[in-house]
Structure 1
């Protein structure tokens, strides 16, 4: 090879070596840490747990703040993970479909004959929340009961009664609404179809294959130690406390049995939440076809708001519900918020960026009426804007505060 061609080739190799690899994002860990510190200060957060990685390489793994007064929070502490389990339920559903156990589009009456309208509702519609069932936890009677006694344990049949399932919001498959009822029915159907307790099915089919060692349902309101404690003002209005009166109660052991089907009411750790972002976000347990079904954005342009339905809204670039997971821009996410806990995971499949966040709140984070905002979701989006800056997560659908069991599309 002539000397000039060799020089050009060497120069090209050198230039290529200086370019970021596909899927990698230039990042400054100091900038990420600064963003976390700013979020803790601005959001009035008691504790912040964060882990960020790109293509399997950690850029940041940190904790700031305290669990109990005088007790520093640690990355090993467990917290409630709420709606993250919706992604596990959808994964379980798709794996059972791959195994020939269930048909995604067959009526669920076979599994739920006692529930109205199941002769025209499918498992896919339950997983994607297009079945038309009202959200049981937005029933004012349920909210009042929860706020009177947040330690009460709820049974499935009690929750279904609040959904008034005999009357649908819309014909199945024609619209969308965030509905705990749909998730409850999905869990019940999967348990009956799988022939085993839901907790065992999730463990065998999803949690163990993902390598999650600290995620599970205890069957009670207990959280295995070490515990990240949470505090809340969500009941301020229900207790008719004036805004000027100081009020903050520990909410760590409020009973979360209303949030998800029994067997999927879970606690987790920062590292397991991060592993979930990578494994679920990357479709590690699914065939390509099943993964595409899970992250589909087919609802865009097909959903509308409905009078009297606070969780019926058009799907958009900023928020599209697939099967148990939300697409926001090019990112995949879930972002639970309830009982003084907030968390979020985000995953960018093309760049293999994973973000996991969990936070708890100080008294100053709550509004005078006891509402508060999902600061974990805000922090995920702030970090995502740095990784990479040209492809950030879009702003949240609407940064409305939430309170108690009526939080809606958040828990």
Structure 2
């Protein structure tokens, strides 16, 4: 299925096992091997895996092993500590006979959701909105708009169904993978259902929440979402390899993707991603920008300390999960160990996003206690392992680099 960032519900009940002192020790060790890279705005996204440094070799050995074991066509990776590069590299092929390279661009789906969450919290910092303002103030035609708040859209507690898990939507998107979807097309699926639960009383992942959040941000600011994200996130962070796409185009050089969800293994690079979120937040990026994004979003670089605390836990911890009106598979319990923040997943000390769409998978993950950032992008061979393979690779790296904080704990 073309899920874009849906978390693994089975992991929600696992116990947090973070060992901060061990993570700090690993961070110190990694810093001794990191390069003294120039500031990021001038940095080119090029492979450094050939440099004779122990940690770089260790990371790339893990990635090569994962490529073989998971059936990956390609894997791109970048690891930084305290903003300094440990390694940037690529393995495998983009297309037959065309090696994957670290400067290739790929889709990053739900990373745009993290950017929207950060912009919302910036507007709260500026006293332009309140998190608990009803979204009906800006989207007056939305059913339950007087009950659903901006917070509930951003932490996905509104009770709205997820159109991406709707069988009718899946049938439609697979039948016409190049179709251009409008917000109205997409919202027709969740709005034909009653709410899963009273807004704010439970948690369920729903792309509809983020689609509506993007539309609300445009109304609040009077600025198109693509310009808003550039002005407030991509520009300040010098994410020069990150672009919004109103069409399926991907900037060159392109990491090509492949998908077998329609029953045959086929190229899916240019399938239309317009279904994934609000127009203006449908992003492509490269591995260097993805790591920089992980650092900035995960550390709250663009936010006040108070807003960052809200990003990490907007009130989702303790929400119950499955109930008689919201069965398992739709709602998931929110624990301190694994819960949803404002546009980000929080798991075992990491803040991350894990987009997966049209044969592309990626992860941006940041561990604040070790100032460790991991960015991974993967594509698939016909026999690839199920699930988000980039997250599997990132977890193997997390276990090696921060043993007390695996991503799958």
Q: TM-score range by the shorter chain?
A: 0.7 to 0.9
Query: 1:16 matched to which residue of 2?
Result: none
* Aligned counterpart, 1:9: none
Residue 346 of structure 1: aligned partner: 365
Q: 1:300 to 1:99 in 2, by over 3 A?
A: closer
- In structure 2, how many angstroms separate the alpha carbons of the residues matched to 1:70 and 1:22? 38
* 2:307 aligned with 1:287: no
Instruction: Look up the match of 1:145.
Output: 172
Secondary structure of 2:315 counterpart:
coil
Paired residues for 1:366-377 under 5 Å: 372-377=386-391
Against the structure 1 CA distance between its residues 25 and 282, is the aligned structure 2 distance closer, same or farther, given a 3 Å change threshold? farther
Unaligned runs of 5+ residues in structure 2 are: 1-23, 31-53
Q: Is the 8 A contact 1:134 1:165 kept in 2?
A: no
Q: Is the 8 A contact 1:25 1:351 kept in 2?
A: no
Partner of 1:302: 319
Deviation of 1:25 (Å): 4.0
Q: Does 1:161 align with 2:188?
A: yes
Shift in alpha-carbon separation, 1:232–1:204, aligned structure 2, 3 A? same
Q: Residues 50 and 356 of structure 1 are in contact (CA less than 8 Å); yes or no, is this contact kept in structure 2? A: yes
Return the alpha-carbon distance in structure 2 between the equivalents of residues 25 and 174 of structure 1.
43
**CA offsets, 1:346-404, max 9 Å, x none?**
111111001000000001116xxxxx321100111110111122333334xxxxxxxxx
Which runs of 5 or more residues in structure 1 are unaligned? Answer: 1-19, 237-246, 367-371, 396-411
Greater relative contact order, per chain length (Cα 8 Å cut-off, separation 6+): 2
SS in 2 for 1:93: helix
8 Å CA contact retained: 2:161, 2:193: no
Once the two structures are superposed, residues 282-340 of structure 1 have per-residue CA deviations (whole angstroms, 9 ceiling, x without a partner) of 11100000011001173232221245563311123553110000111011111111110
Choose from 263, 267, 285 the match for 1:250: 267
Structure 1 residue 383 corresponds to structure 2 residue 397: yes
**Cα drift, residue 218 of structure 1:** 2.1
Q: How does 1:11-410 map to 2 (within 5 A)?
A: 23-26=27-30, 28-164=55-191, 167-236=194-263, 247-296=264-313, 298-306=315-323, 307=326, 310-365=329-384, 372-395=386-409
The whole-number CA distance in structure 2 between the counterparts of 1:136 and 1:65 is 34
SS in 1 for 2:60: helix
| C-alpha displacement of 1:67 | 0.6
Would the aligned equivalents of 2:321 and 2:328 in 1 still touch at CA under 8 Å?
A: no
Give the TM-score of the pair, scaled to structure 1. Answer: 0.84
Query: Structure 2 length as normaliser, TM-score?
Result: 0.85
Query: Larger C-alpha radius of gyration, 1 or 2?
Result: 1
Q: 1:166 to 1:376 in 2, by over 3 A?
A: closer
| More displaced stretch, 382-391 vs 260-269 | 382-391
Q: Which moved more, 1:194-203 or 1:317-326?
A: 317-326
Q: Deviations over 1:248-306 (max 9, x none)?
A: 11100111111100100111100110000111111110000001100117323222124
CA RMSD of aligned residues (A): 1.7
Q: Distance in 2 between matches of 1:394 and 1:342?
A: 17
**Displacement of 1:136:** 1.4
User: Aligned residue for 1:402?
Assistant: none
Q: Once the 2 structures are TM-superposed, how far is the Cα of residue 57 of structure 1 from its aligned partner?
A: 2.3
Q: Distance in 1 between matches of 2:83 and 2:280?
A: 30
